Amino acid sequence: MALVSIKDVARAAGVSDKTVSRVVNREANVHPDTMEKVERAIAELNYVPNLSARLVRTNQSRTIGVMTDLVSTTPYSGEILRGIHDWAKRFNKTVLIIHTGGDPEEEERAWRTFQEHRADGVIYATMFHRDAGLRRDALKLPTVMVNCFSSSDPDLPAIVPDDYGGCVGLIDHLLDLGHRRIAHVRLNPNLKAAHLRLAAYRDTLARRGIEVDETLVAEGMDGEVGKDLNVAFESTLALLKRDEPPSAIFCGNDEIALQVYCAVLSQGLQIPRDVSVVGFDDFQTVSKGLRPQLTTAALPYFRLGYEGAALLETLLGEHDVKGVSVMDCPLVSRGSTGAALER
């Protein structure tokens, strides 16, 4: 009943176990005839090697653990996992994912599970860009952080998106189109990205010689992350009803842009004729679903995962890997931005 083992193959082919092992692992020094005999037996018996048995002997699991704080859904961040899987497939590794929801007890269990499986290393991935607050002694295995970092130990290897740079690109784009009154509807201020994006907004305007009008900065959402209360619609209505309304609105992300669209359109205004709108994330269901489609900056979730896995591999290769790397958020120019009206 038990599955066929290397011994069954050996018997069928009339050779020793070791010879079968050689064929399976494509080792040198096997006579072509022997090889053929063995391969025929393998095919006939439908033999598939047992990875666990191999691991017991070699101690090489070729497995990486992935720990995420995923609870409900920040939809596209699942792309991080796809990036990791893609890398793993290419390099023939196994991926073991555990969603902990950020619960410390669950995380403790996850570390243990990774150890039980003798994972080579771990990717600690968060579903939004944040301080994971990890301490070196909490890591039971070599670890790379993805989409997060540790303020208490900044040397720990990490990869995060370049929120700041992406926003610079967006604001420059609007300025190049002639916009001078650019409003900002903010992300939830509990998010790291909210601060980076606001800073980039202010800095870029200043660099280009535009005075920052703080009354053009409005709240878009608030409350605990994931259960945020979204007020972007109301904030936008208020902005539009001002005496001197903005000619462009820079939204904290695409989800906010969605509400900004609803508000702008409900006032009988047109995008981009009356108001240009830019988002952030390139959350495609929204950014490509809106009419006109949304100009935004792409959060490189897939690459974050892929490069994170690659970085872990470097780390495991005993190379020194230190500190936080940053991934581009390229501008994606679509129909929601146009030249500012002459006044």
Residues binding DNA (CB under 7 A) = 2-3, 5-7, 14-19, 21-22, 24-25, 28-31, 33-35, 49-50, 53-54, 56-59
Kindly list the distances between the CA atom of residue 90 and the CA atoms of 84, 95, 127, 306, in Å, as whole numbers in the listed order. 10, 12, 24, 10
List 30, 35, 98, 139, residue binding its own copies (CB under 8 A): 98
| Three-class HEC string of 103-145 | CHHHHHHHHHHHHHCCCCEEEEEEEEEEECCCCHHHCCCCEEE
Least separation in angstroms between residue 61's CB and DNA is 12
Closer to DNA at the Cβ: 14 or 154?
14
Task: Return the amino acid letter for 250.
Answer: F
Scanning residues 106 to 145, which ones bind its own copies (CB under 8 A)? Answer: 112-113, 115-118
List the single partner that 127 binds among its own copies, DNA, none, CB under 5 to 8 Å by kind.
none
Q: Which helix (H) or strand (E) holds 259?
A: helix 254-266
Q: Which of 43, 51, 206, 238 touches its own copies (CB under 8 A)?
A: 51
Smallest distance, its own copies to C-beta of residue 53, A: 5
Rounded Cα–Cα distance for residues 46 and 42 (Å): 6
Give the one entry of its own copies, DNA, none that residue 177 binds, where binding means its C-beta sits below a cut-off of 5 to 8 angstroms depending on kind.
none
Binders of its own copies among residues 56 to 95 (CB under 8 A) are 56, 59, 61, 70, 73, 75-76, 78-79, 81-82, 85-86, 89, 94-95
Please answer whether residues 284 and 75 qualify as being in contact, where contact means their C-beta atoms are separated by less than 8 angstroms. no
Which residue is associated with the tokens 């070699």?
58
The overall longest dimension of the chain from CA atoms, in Å, is 92
Q: How many CA atoms lie within 13 A of 49 on its CB side?
A: 13
Residue 316 C-beta: closest distance to DNA, Å: 18
> Do the beta carbons of residue 160 and residue 129 sit within 8 Å?
yes
User: Which residues sit at the interface with its own copies, rule CB under 8 A?
Assistant: 2-3, 48-53, 55-56, 59, 61, 70, 73, 75-76, 78-79, 81-82, 85-86, 89, 94-99, 112-113, 115-118, 230, 233, 255, 258-259, 261-263, 265-266, 268, 270, 283-286, 288-291
